[in-house]
């Protein structure tokens, strides 16, 4: 009998009576900065998305805006969804914040980083709904003369990308399926970027077994995250976890636009991600799949060389 405790690994505790988590209070975060000092490449601020669900977003823009003939050129916009396995972190998390700052300054783009609801307090599909709320919010700001000025004045919403890391990659896939069915003009989803997207299933894959004792995401931790996130009385073959096992939604998948999928060979979920790409291609989706044999899950958050490589891939996809 294994003595490994995923709750201890994640430094969380669960109250079954209320289905709530007590989370670590020491996760590094970054406060807002709307008044840059010389040399700051980006400015950022927090805004409310939906008061009822208490969702908010951190908006990033470059301090130096490109111009054409002395007129500020509008930038593509990315709606971004952080990692955290459904149950941890926020849009203010230091790693997600740094990632958004780098993308904003290097591509350059406007980013709306969504602080979606966490599980188990809000189980799937709440996070997918929060993503659609964010898409509608961005569209509304672009059309409202009194809307959020960083979007209204600087963003080109006809070049809108959905970008998700880890569970955020899952979020942008499912919210993208819905978004492509909606009339969102003038907003247009120009592509979906899934960086090490989080998928699962009941049948273990070779990579899950090979990396069962992974330091970051051992199998019991992955299982716990899905147990916390999926609707109650479902299992890991539910379509939110395992879209590859769901034949019903294949017609919707065929409607997706361009997709970029990034993965690393040491990620326990790498086999899922490659199976996911195979499914997209079989459905006729235009997919740019970038898999590196080396590296582990979230390696681009801790390895500057890999972070630069991912940034270049994203830049190529957007430009």
What gap in Å lies between CA 49 and CA 174, rounded to an integer? 19
**pLDDT computed for residue 1 by the predictor:** 42
Residue 5: the pLDDT is: 96
Spacing of C-alpha 149 from chain mean position: 24
Closest CA to 271 of 199, 193, 218: 199
- Residue 97: predicted pLDDT: 96
In 3D space, the residue among 272, 256, 281 whose CA is nearest the CA of residue 162 turns out to be 256
Decide the pairing of beta strands 71-72 and 20-22: unpaired
Q: Can you tell me the distance from the alpha carbon of 119 to that of 318, in angstroms, rounded to the nearest whole number? A: 31
Which stretch of DSSP H or E encloses residue 69? none
Query: What pLDDT score was predicted for residue 317?
Result: 98
Domain boundaries, the chain: 6-318
* Cβ(146)–Cβ(93) below 8 Å: no
Q: Which fold has domain 6-318?
A: Rossmann fold (3.40.50)
Q: How many CB atoms lie within 10 A of CB 29?
A: 12
Mean pLDDT by 10 residues, the chain (319 residues): 84 97 82 77 96 98 81 92 97 96 96 98 98 98 96 97 98 97 96 98 98 95 98 97 90 95 97 98 97 92 92 95
Spatial contact of 94 and 30, defined as CB atoms under 8 Å apart: yes
Instruction: List, in order, residues 6 or more apart from 59 with CB less than 8 Å away.
Output: 44, 45, 46, 47, 110, 111, 112, 113, 148, 150, 151
């Amino acid at each position: 009998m294994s003595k490994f405790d995923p709750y201890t690994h994640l430094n969380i505790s669960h109250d079954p009576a209320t289905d709530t988590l007590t989370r670590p209070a020491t996760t590094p975060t970054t406060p807002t900065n709307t008044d840059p000092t010389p040399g700051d490449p980006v400015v950022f601020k927090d805004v409310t998305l939906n008061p009822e669900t208490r969702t908010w977003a951190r908006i990033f823009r470059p301090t130096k805006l490109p111009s054409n003939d002395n007129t500020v050129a509008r930038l593509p916009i990315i709606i971004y969804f952080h990692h955290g396995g459904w149950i941890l972190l926020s849009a203010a998390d230091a790693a997600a914040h740094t990632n958004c700052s780098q993308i904003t300054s290097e591509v350059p783009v406007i980013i709306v980083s969504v602080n979606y609801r966490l599980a188990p307090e809000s189980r799937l599909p709440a996070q997918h709904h929060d993503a659609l709320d964010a898409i509608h919010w961005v569209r509304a700001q672009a059309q409202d003369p009194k809307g959020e000025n960083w979007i209204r004045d600087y963003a080109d919403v006809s070049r809108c990308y959905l970008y998700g890391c880890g569970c955020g990659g899952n979020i942008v896939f499912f919210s993208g399926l819905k978004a492509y069915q909606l009339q969102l003009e003038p907003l247009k989803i120009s592509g979906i970027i899934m960086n090490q997207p989080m998928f699962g299933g009941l049948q273990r894959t070779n990579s899950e077994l090979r990396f069962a004792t992974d330091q970051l995401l051992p199998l019991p931790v992955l299982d716990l995250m899905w147990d916390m996130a999926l609707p109650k009385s479902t299992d890991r073959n539910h379509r939110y976890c395992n879209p590859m096992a769901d034949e019903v939604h294949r017609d919707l998948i065929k409607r997706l636009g361009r997709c970029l999928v990034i993965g690393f060979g040491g990620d326990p979920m790498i086999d899922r991600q490659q199976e996911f790409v195979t499914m997209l291609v079989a459905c006729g989706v235009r997919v740019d799949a970038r898999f590196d044999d080396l590296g582990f899950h979230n390696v681009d958050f801790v390895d500057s060389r890999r972070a630069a490589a991912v940034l270049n891939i994203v830049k190529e996809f957007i430009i």
